[in-house]
Structure 1
Amino acid sequence: MDEDELPECPVCLQPYDAVSAIPRVLTCGHTTCEACLKQLPNPFPNTIRCTVCTLLVKFPNSLSSLPKNLDLLHLSSVLQHRHTPGNKKVSSPSSPQANGIDQSVLFPSALKSWSYEFYCKWKKWVLPRDCISMEKVGSESDGGVVCGEVLKYFQSDYMMGCVLRENEHVGLVRVGTFVEGEDDSKFFKASYESSILTVLYRMEEEERNKLGIILNATLRVSNVGNVFGFWCNKDDKCVYMVCEKIASPNLVKCVLKKKEDEDERLSSDEMSALAMLCMEICEILSRLHSEGLVIGFLRVSCFGFNDFGHVYVDLGEVLNTCRRLHMAVRRELSHLEISLKDTLLDKYLMFISPEMLLNCFVKQDFKFDSGKSRYEVGCASDVWSLACLLVWLIVGSTFVEEMECFLHFVVNAIKDEKGSDYSGLCMRWSEKIAVLLEGRLGSEYASLQDILYRCLRFDPGNRPVITDLWKCLRELVIKPQFDTGLMLKQEVKNGKTGHHVVLGEICQMVEEANKELMGVIQGKDKNDRADIELRVDEDVVQGVSRGHVKCTEMKGHLDCITGLAIGGIPCHSK
């Protein structure tokens, strides 16, 4: 007579016991071990799909509230005593320990599954592999900025407005690199989609939330360059954020008019044109702030014009400018000197706020006491940058000379590390700017001079909000008594409140994430390895490669299996 078989879990196929494979009874009457129930996906809150009958049943928050199948435990105990002592129990892959020895068998890290919610949220942002090609990779001095070209038309089924047109040029911003461990690359090859999702999954939740804010802001704010999604380059395994690239002339070519005599006062028509321009920038920045997005500092090349002559913000250029700035500062600091007369000033630092500049040096391991670094980068940083842009358009090259002197003193004070009165330096500099504005504008534009002076204060909390600057500029175009439009009623704050994301700090995310990722691959991250040992069962892999495969009925997995992939390539039945 054949020996009776031990009752086993329909999922992991391991015998039930009172330690590693505790049988729990679902409301439908079927039984599954507790370890497998913890790992089954929940299609809906407080529900689970039975592994036997595939029905949706109620699932409590605590597994201990489900009754144990005492009959199966008793039967399993009786049958185990009948077995010969030489038979050894094989531990369940779901159970962490057997007889006090860790015998868990885990898949490689690249195959660790993410939640269904994570997949649904980020899958829609994955662009096809063959729709983009690398067009140009910038030099190291240029920050390694990458541009791409669209190879074929693509329209997303998930995101409205996400349309890539053939031969269109796009900006590529690197957000991470897909790195496989030694065990991963031996036996498995990740698919294109899983490579991108793995990079996003390995990020800290805070960093993913920042990317989500950027993606959502581009959908909700008009006159801002779109972010189409993520694309992975098969050559360098880098994952890039694909951004719309503005092909129109930048702000300098269309607006700035260099005059031989910069002491000449601007006409009312010229002031109205500048006011209209900066009003549109104020509106864009205000909407971005309401979405939780702060640029941090502005550069002239970040702006362009659309087909109707309205200002357009290129987010891809903003992100790449941030990368160039940090790399330029790091490169100059490595030589223990910063040449502000070089292109560094003209390209990056001319409109940067003091708190953003100090923050940039802090990122390069410069230490400040709490009194010097207490100002955070926030909405007021964009107010400073916009005010500098407007002053530059009004004053001209004299502003660049004064800014060069100001930055020279600030940078030298930072490098000396002897302490300096940054607030006093800023006040003396802003007083010089006020004199230049008065000479260019005269007493007729006293209100504009006053608000620009307040926008250039060292303390971000003392600067006016961006809507106050917008109102002052609007009065230059339409007199208040004739302004029949709706006035702003929403209260706007300058502080970095809520979940604001500073684009000027996003570029640091890639390097920090890559360092953490390499630490995990090299075994430096001990958190995930405190309880279990990460390894591949060689017998299983060798058995598959040699053709020694044992077929097992998988009825308990009917709700989990949605397809088959070999070598990362999905297979479909004919």
Structure 2
Amino acid sequence: MVMDLPECPVCLEAFDGESRIPRVLACGHSTCQICLLHLPKPPLFPCTIRCPACTQLVTYPQSPSSLPKNIDLLRFSSSFPRSSNPKPEPEPKPKPKPRPDFDFLPNLWSHEFYHKWKQWIVPQDSELIKSNQIVSLFKIASFTDNNDNDNNDDDDDDDDEFKYSYVAKVMMILFKMRDECLVELDLILTLASKEYRICSAYGLWYNNKDDYLYLVCERKHTSLLNLTVKDDDYDDISSVGMIGMELYETFSRLHDVGLVSGCTSFSCFVIDGFGHMLIDLNQVLIDGERVQKIIKDSIRSEMDSNDVDLESHVYPSPEVLVELIRKEAVDFDFDMSKCTVGFSSDVWSLACVLLSFLLGMSFVDETRGFLSSYILKLVHGNTCECEELYATWLDNVSGFLDGKLGLEYTLMKELLQKCLCFDPKDRPLVNDVWKFMRGLIIKPKLDVISSSEQKATNESTSRCLVLADLIGSSNKTVKNDETGAMNDSRDDNVVVESDVIEGVRKSSLSCIEMKGHLDCISGLAIGGGFLFSSSFDKTVNVWSLQGSNRVHTFKGHEHKVMAVVYVDSEPPLCISADNGGDIFIWAVNLPFDEKPVKRLNEEKDWRYSGVHSLAVSSTSGYLYTGSGDKSIKAWSLNDYSLSYTMNGHKSVVSTLAVCNEVLYSGSWDGTVRLWCLSDHSPLAVLGEERPVASVLSVATHTHTLVAAYENGSIKVWNKDVFLNSISPHSSSIFSICMEGPWLFSGGWNKTIVVQKLSGNDESGVEEVTEIGSIQGDSVVTALSYWEGRLFVGHADRTIKVYSFGG
């Protein structure tokens, strides 16, 4: 039997005394010298390296040759002959059972969904919205949680209620919208950001005043409505040709990307600084919504043509009207063979807009009356009368053209009449009309692009905005308009169900209050089926996690207890420390002992303010204390002796945390220091260059470090790289805790902010998103999280337990 030689954990080559020399890292593991040269160095911690065996961050010299050789491995390797036989494959180790996940909130949306839509969210206090003259707004959907009342933050009834953040409300509305609506919304946003003939789309904005989500588009150009239409206007045919060319060129661009308007009006067009026309898709949706409302009102009640309030200069094509009525009236019977909505529908509408300029108010009034009567006759099923009405209107328009255009413009008259054909298949193409209008301005001999071919577009895949699901949903409600002049749409709007995320409402946020302390709560720890709470009243209370009742009180401290930790050992321990420098070690067993297992005491002088923070490393077997004398002390859990003292901070060490065998310490000096637990040597200093404020709390999870500051800011590092700095609070943050993707923070403003860290296993955390907040009635002093429950310690002596459930 040949014994396998020791090998490098990176290259899997056997160690030797020449090139594969085993070098011992501070954590005790060995790696060959060649691999150490190629291992990546953390950018913020140049004097460190992650051990490939245990991933611990350890100190690393400039050259691996400075590290000691593993003499025992070299002797062991040289005492055995090398075997050329291949190694047998080791048996796969059984996978550890995954730890059950307990989310504070259900999964509101997927990571991919969030990254797709976050780019379109307009900030709540955007200057674009404040200056509403340069934007147009269209209501998309509503967040109608009846318990949500952001305007009553000072009301006592709002305490202990979960309020979703601005971004969370936008994302939840989008997540609950039907797929068809999302596809259309994505198409509008994408096209409006790329096509130069479409008014730019700024994104999506949520109005907290009326709980509606709006589509925000550009509206800073001159409206076509500013061009007054009179009977004597536009005798110059070249001017009409210029307007017609611009109109049809705009819609040619729209059709190239597969969009059909179906209804146009003067309000849909704006003129930029170069005289080119752009289309406002927001206004197209608004006009379509108003036409749809008129049709719904016509179906629901008996009306005559005088009651149909169809606005002037709004021209829905006949086939669009038929389709809208068919969607609203189930028993509507009409031959749709000649009424297919497509690109030709816009040819009809654009011809009406152009004739408004050419013929003036006589055409406008005639067409408005025709469309009003046409809608009513369609609704009532009088299809024969519809054909007669249409023929009469077309004859009248022809008479107007005869009076306006002479024999010189016979071809123009024929073209416009052809654009108004009832059958869409008999209407000319958009590009053909554009070429004709261009010919009124530029002579054919000088027109170098007159022979260009029309771009092929699959009309079967096109989408009609007026028939879009964004304004055609059956799930609608009428809400009072509270936005004043800022709201361009005053009609029915798509509404997301009031139960935006099933099972998650304010009413489902349960709160249990635990009372027993006589002063401010200073710390919380969980373990062994118990919650341990320390207080300025010099005691540590023990609470049952099942019944939320107090089962014991540890007494003995003579000063304010500043921190408490749980040690999962045999036997399990609870350790508490006070600002007098006393450290009490309590046994966690039933029945609880009245006296501590051990009492430790730090040396102090008149400047000393005792212990401010605690942390435990079960791997290294040490208890760590952060002290007022600026030091960190390591106490052995075996014999409770003081083993190491770590110096470096310039002020009180206010907070400690252990993760991945690295000790993180935060201080009032505004820095966070990292210490190697194997030899307690310093690894790195964060925030030393530009300290912003005192560090009051730190939290860690896997490769993520979060630090909370006295000025209300939070800094996040991921995989040793600084990620972001955010300010979820306006004042001091006294405590933060992190569990998986969830980050909780609370402090002086009595508010608990719930945030979520998004990312994936490969890239790590990418960003922090505020999900919501819980407004309390007292300063938040301590936070802890366990299996879906958030434990909150307050300055008013109470402990509250929040959880979402049925």
Q: TM-score, normalised by structure 2?
A: 0.46
Identify which range, 385-394 or 354-363, moves more after superposition: 354-363
For 1:559 and 1:486, locate their aligned partners in 2 and report how far apart those are by CA, in whole Å.
64
How many Å apart are 1:198 and its aligned residue? 1.2
SS in 2 for 1:189: strand
Superposed CA offset, 1:19-64 (max 9, x none): xxxxxxxxxxxxxxxxxxxxxxxxxxxxxxxxx999xxxxxxxxxx
SS in 1 for 2:384: coil
How many Å apart are 1:125 and its aligned residue? 0.7
Q: 1:505 aligns with which of 457, 468, 472?
A: 468
How many Å apart are 1:429 and its aligned residue? 3.0
How many Å apart are 1:543 and its aligned residue? 7.0
Distance 1:385 1:70, change over 3 A: same
Pairs within 5 Å for 1:367-406:
367-369=331-333, 371-372=335-336, 375-406=339-370
Matched, 1:274 2:262: no
Distance 1:126 1:409, change over 3 A: closer
For 1:382 and 1:542, locate their aligned partners in 2 and report how far apart those are by CA, in whole Å.
58
For 1:539 and 1:481, locate their aligned partners in 2 and report how far apart those are by CA, in whole Å.
75
The equivalent of 2:398 in structure 1 is 434
Matched, 1:225 2:220: no
Matched, 1:125 2:111: no
SS in 1 for 2:329: coil
Q: 1:251 aligns with which of 224, 237, 248?
A: 224
Which protein, 1 or 2, shows the higher relative CO under an 8 Å CA cutoff with sep ≥ 6? 1
Q: 1:454 aligns with which of 418, 424, 441?
A: 418
Identify which range, 294-303 or 355-364, moves more after superposition: 355-364
How many Å apart are 1:347 and its aligned residue? 5.5
Matched, 1:322 2:303: no
SS in 1 for 2:278: strand
Instruction: Please tell me the residue identity of whatever aligns with 2:244.
Output: C
How many Å apart are 1:175 and its aligned residue? 1.1
Identify which range, 206-215 or 538-547, moves more after superposition: 538-547
Matched, 1:286 2:259: no
Distance 1:175 1:245, change over 3 A: same
The equivalent of 1:312 in structure 2 is 278
- Contact 1:207–1:509 (CA<8 Å) still a contact in 2? no
Pairs within 5 Å for 1:85-124:
108=105, 111-124=106-119
Q: 2:142 aligns with which of 151, 155, 177?
A: 177
Instruction: Please tell me the residue identity of whatever aligns with 2:393.
Output: W
Instruction: Please tell me the residue identity of whatever aligns with 2:193.
Output: L
How many Å apart are 1:288 and its aligned residue? 1.2
The equivalent of 1:518 in structure 2 is 497
Instruction: Please tell me the residue identity of whatever aligns with 1:505.
Output: A
The equivalent of 2:171 in structure 1 is 197
Pairs within 5 Å for 1:333-348:
333-340=299-306, 344-346=310-312, 348=314
Distance 1:448 1:331, change over 3 A: same
Superposed CA offset, 1:491-522 (max 9, x none): 456x8421424245355256637778427669
For 2:206 and 2:508, locate their aligned partners in 1 and report how far apart those are by CA, in whole Å.
33
- Contact 1:230–1:241 (CA<8 Å) still a contact in 2? yes
For 1:416 and 1:510, locate their aligned partners in 2 and report how far apart those are by CA, in whole Å.
23
- Contact 1:210–1:501 (CA<8 Å) still a contact in 2? no
For 1:398 and 1:500, locate their aligned partners in 2 and report how far apart those are by CA, in whole Å.
33
- Contact 1:326–1:360 (CA<8 Å) still a contact in 2? yes
Instruction: Please tell me the residue identity of whatever aligns with 2:142.
Output: T
CA RMSD of aligned residues (A): 4.2
Asked which structure has the greater CA Rg, the reply is 2
Instruction: Please tell me the residue identity of whatever aligns with 2:278.
Output: Y
Q: 1:352 aligns with which of 316, 323, 330?
A: 316
Q: How many corresponding residue pairs? A: 428
For 1:280 and 1:543, locate their aligned partners in 2 and report how far apart those are by CA, in whole Å.
66
For 2:200 and 2:384, locate their aligned partners in 1 and report how far apart those are by CA, in whole Å.
42
The equivalent of 2:589 in structure 1 is none
For 1:520 and 1:539, locate their aligned partners in 2 and report how far apart those are by CA, in whole Å.
11
For 2:103 and 2:702, locate their aligned partners in 1 and report how far apart those are by CA, in whole Å.
21
SS in 2 for 1:518: coil
How many Å apart are 1:563 and its aligned residue? 6.5
For 1:182 and 1:237, locate their aligned partners in 2 and report how far apart those are by CA, in whole Å.
12
The equivalent of 2:130 in structure 1 is 149
Matched, 1:297 2:263: yes
For 2:526 and 2:473, locate their aligned partners in 1 and report how far apart those are by CA, in whole Å.
42
- Contact 1:302–1:314 (CA<8 Å) still a contact in 2? yes
Distance 1:337 1:181, change over 3 A: closer
How many Å apart are 1:333 and its aligned residue? 4.9
Q: 2:743 aligns with which of 546, 555, 564?
A: 564
Instruction: Please tell me the residue identity of whatever aligns with 2:270.
Output: G
For 2:293 and 2:54, locate their aligned partners in 1 and report how far apart those are by CA, in whole Å.
59
SS in 1 for 2:468: helix
How many Å apart are 1:568 and its aligned residue? 4.7
For 2:170 and 2:299, locate their aligned partners in 1 and report how far apart those are by CA, in whole Å.
34
SS in 2 for 1:174: strand
How many Å apart are 1:114 and its aligned residue? 2.6
How many Å apart are 1:258 and its aligned residue? 3.3
For 1:544 and 1:499, locate their aligned partners in 2 and report how far apart those are by CA, in whole Å.
58
- Contact 1:427–1:457 (CA<8 Å) still a contact in 2? no
The equivalent of 2:208 in structure 1 is 234
For 1:312 and 1:274, locate their aligned partners in 2 and report how far apart those are by CA, in whole Å.
17
For 1:189 and 1:365, locate their aligned partners in 2 and report how far apart those are by CA, in whole Å.
40
Instruction: Please tell me the residue identity of whatever aligns with 2:743.
Output: L
Superposed CA offset, 1:421-461 (max 9, x none): 64554344324322321331122122222221121112222
For 1:53 and 1:420, locate their aligned partners in 2 and report how far apart those are by CA, in whole Å.
84
For 2:442 and 2:179, locate their aligned partners in 1 and report how far apart those are by CA, in whole Å.
46
For 2:307 and 2:510, locate their aligned partners in 1 and report how far apart those are by CA, in whole Å.
62
- Contact 2:199–2:218 (CA<8 Å) still a contact in 1? yes
For 1:554 and 1:374, locate their aligned partners in 2 and report how far apart those are by CA, in whole Å.
71
SS in 2 for 1:231: strand
Pairs within 5 Å for 1:521-532:
none
For 1:408 and 1:554, locate their aligned partners in 2 and report how far apart those are by CA, in whole Å.
72
Instruction: Please tell me the residue identity of whatever aligns with 2:116.
Output: K
Unpaired runs of at least 5, structure 1: 1-51, 55-68, 77-90, 95-104, 134-147, 151-166, 524-533
Identity value in percent:
28
More strand by share: 2
How many Å apart are 1:400 and its aligned residue? 3.1
- Contact 1:224–1:315 (CA<8 Å) still a contact in 2? yes
Instruction: Please tell me the residue identity of whatever aligns with 1:214.
Output: I
For 1:226 and 1:506, locate their aligned partners in 2 and report how far apart those are by CA, in whole Å.
21
For 1:296 and 1:368, locate their aligned partners in 2 and report how far apart those are by CA, in whole Å.
20
SS in 2 for 1:420: helix
Distance 1:540 1:450, change over 3 A: closer
Q: TM-score, normalised by structure 1?
A: 0.63
The equivalent of 1:526 in structure 2 is none
SS in 1 for 2:332: coil
The equivalent of 1:8 in structure 2 is none
SS in 2 for 1:129: coil
Pairs within 5 Å for 1:10-159:
72=94, 108=105, 111-131=106-126, 148-150=129-131
Instruction: Please tell me the residue identity of whatever aligns with 1:229.
Output: G
Distance 1:435 1:290, change over 3 A: same
- Contact 1:191–1:568 (CA<8 Å) still a contact in 2? no
For 1:540 and 1:275, locate their aligned partners in 2 and report how far apart those are by CA, in whole Å.
64
